[in-house]
Structure 1
Amino acid sequence: MTVEATTERVLRLLALLQRRSSWTATELAAELGVTDRSVRRDVERLRALGYPVRATAGVGGGYRLGAGTRLPPLLLDDEEAIATAISLRLAAGGTVAGADEAALRALAKLDQVMPPRLRAEVRAVHGATEILVGPGIEIDAEVLVTLARACRDAVRVRFRYAGRDGAERERTVEPVRMVATGRRWYLMAWDVDRDDWRTFRLDRMREAVATTLRFRAREHPDPAAYVQRSVAAAPYRYVARVRVRASADRVRELVPPRAARVEDDRDGWCLLVAGADDLDWLAMQVARLGFEARVLDPPELREAAARLARRVAALAATG
């Protein structure tokens, strides 16, 4: 076998190890079309290049790509390289604490080695994109990485969590997915102590630690939809339901997902579900949409809308 063929096979092995957390030697041999002995030799070649390939015990043996004393080169296909470059561009103006400068450094390195055809695609996206940075809440990058790994590896996580009353309590959860909405991040997870699904704001977490206790994935709601319902309706004093004479898609263009849930309804109407502690403010926001609307509940929202109408009428009559 030529050196070129061996190098190509070793690179394929590296790509497989980066794709999944653990492989048996037999699985790798089948993927590469070689013997188990050839897999062992290729693993040694990767180790000599600085890749921390760990051997695992068990029937048939196995391998996983572990953490080393330094970060070896990553092997990215075209789609992964483009996605990584675009993500770094967004992170440079994002909400993860300390990530902006690091993201720019990483982006510069990636751009330097990226083939011209891929660099042109990434720059086309960058040239057509502006990032509007406003006030937001920064997320500890270490918390983000800890939770991402726990979601991937299906292990429980413990952390200190500050509730709306400011009191901190220890929580143990089985994480499923993180959801970013606006400039906030949320974790959807099964709360072990409360035996139910919950959402947690990452900026309220402290001392997040991934345990070694694995869990079996259970049936769960759609994470994005679940987080949207949670942040749009609870734990506010009022949960309002308003019919709006417009398509759901049109209203979604005007209402951010973190502020309300918009559902399709009949006869050209949609249903807006939003939580609020101040109904006067909510009445004003619904009026600002500019569509015909009917309050289903609570009745107090109708009273708030009547107050708003009187104030606007009085304003129009002055002069």
Structure 2
Amino acid sequence: MATRTPAPQARDKLAFLLSFVPYLMDIERVSVADAAAHFGVPAEQIRQSVRLIAVSGVPGETTSYQHEDLFDIDWTAFEEHDEIALTHQVAIDDSPRFSAREAAALIAGLQYLSALPGQNDRAVLDSLLLKLSRGASGVPSEVLVGRAVVDSSLDEIRAALTDGRRIEFVYLNSRGEREVRSVDPLRIESVDEDWYVRGWDHARRGVRTFRLDRLSELRTTDIPITKTPADVALPETLFEGSDEDLAVLIEVEADSVPLIAEYIAPDTQPVPHGSRVRVELRLAHYHGLKRLVASLPGVVQVLEPDEARDAVAEWSRQALERYGEASSVS
């Protein structure tokens, strides 16, 4: 004996309509068959709901329903082609909307998110970007966030981390020396556009942090990892000091000290010097110092040692030369 599908109750119908109306407003035009498949309901229920929506709305100032107070559909498309398209919408126009500036800021953030490696839900993000653009109170400013160039080794390290396999690679250390490392990957993290892998270094018998663009000849071994995040204490901060770190004395605006807090040497306090302060930093290499200075233009001044000052000055000189070359070409 065939079983009958129970008819939806009033509460179920209301919940369905609360989902169905925004769906129609967002998709603009859809066939009855596609809408039924999307919600997993019979096609006839979709048709009944459309007819109900067409006589629904919000009363105007006169508290009576005028034509402009009701939803309307493309009746020709509905009756002759079994397609649904709203031609007049109500109620939703009174809902709060993002300003054009707010929408532009959210769009920029979503573009950055969609550019991150391993982001597989790009279709969902693209749909949300479209909704933000159409749903703002004004036209958002055109914003384009460049995609970060991420080392191709990131996917392989992520796979090794998932599979619990040891990795080996050649690493360029802070002294410019290349060393072969054997590491149990524990965590992948990023700072701005730089990506790092933290892992258990078997040669040094401790946790080390490696920047992806400084490693090469990466390969995933068949050796299972012997250390997991549960076995070792991973510090909250990405960068941990070591005996090989370089000490650099800088002068910086006092209110900018929190921006460089992770680089300040342990047990070191900023010393006032006029309207600014002097503080010692600990860095793995001068390349990191150059990036730090560039991220805070006019705020940080390198004082000691001379090698650090020379490294930043030479890097700045090369940047100015490239800028001059680009200007002459344009």
TM-score (norm 2): 0.40
Pair member with larger Rg: 2
TM-score (norm 1): 0.41
